[in-house]
Amino acid sequence: STSEDVEHNVNQKIVLPSHTPNVRRSRRTKVKPLQYWRGERANYLSRQSGGFVIDGIIPAQDKEDRKKPANKKQNKNKGGLMIDGVKPAQDKEKRKKTANKKQNNNKGEEEYISKPTDMQPLGPTVVLDPVTGTEINMECVKTGEDYDHSDPPQKISFCKSFRNQIFSTGKLIVGPLQEKGYQFVCLHTMLFHVIKGDVEVTIHVTSYQLKSGDSFFVPPGNLYNIKNVLNEEAVLIFTQIKGPSMLEDSDSE
């Protein structure tokens, strides 16, 4: 019968270990190649001593015995999905409630935006003095219009925002294909961050090609130079940390 033929073919795929005398053979039970794409596979059983042993072969399935894949088109209308490019009609009352809810949310946003804030106009900031522990006024915020242009707008110009006895910060603008020129840093440290353009930076005897997003600093006692290598304006943000002997002098550039 057909079932007997299948069982015979399956058993033919199990290769038992050989017991030929005086010949070294593997004692493992082997299996010939299986038709895994039809579901044919080996069946294993665990042994009491540990490990697994082949118990038999699960035969392959015929085409009519295989399960048909689920039809993806079934229940496509659940959850209000599209049918032939048309969305099911929604209830008018439900749509009206949704529109009213959106309108109320927009009103709330407008009221929140138009609500006056507690921001103070720019001016001295009240801070604590770390030495005395008392409150003092200090300029901690400046806008772009408040930059102190130490030089008139030209090919090379410094625009300082903060200047005190400990540090100075500002912006260095280098014109197209212009060079700042070598400058000696005495007892303070200069930190730069390139925010626009490509520049060639030389610190003592070492040169670098830097672009927007790069940073560098010049340690005390060294020369440095900045050269704009593009035919467009280069902009750098700088911070000057003043040395011990310059704490009484706020001007260094």
Statement: residue 161 has pLDDT above 90: no
Statement: residue 115 has pLDDT above 80: no
The arithmetic mean of pLDDT across residues 41-59, rounded, is 78
80-103 per-position pLDDT tens digit: 555 545 455 555 666 777 777 777
pTM for this predicted structure: 0.46
pLDDT at 250: 46
DSSP the chain: -HHHHHHHHHHHTEEPPP--TT-----S-EEPPP-GGGT-EEEEEE-TTSSEEEEEEEPPPPGGGSPPPPPTTTTTTGGG--BTTBPPPPPHHHHHHHHHHHHHHHHHHHHHHHSPP-PPPS-PEEEE-TTT--EEEE-----GGG-EESS-SSSEEEEEEEE-SSEEEEEEEE-TT-B---EEE-SSEEEEEEEES-EEEEETTEEEEE-TT-EEEE-TTEEEEEEE-SSS-EEEEEEEE--GGGTT-----
Domains of the chain: 2-65 (no CATH), 142-246 (2.60.120.10)
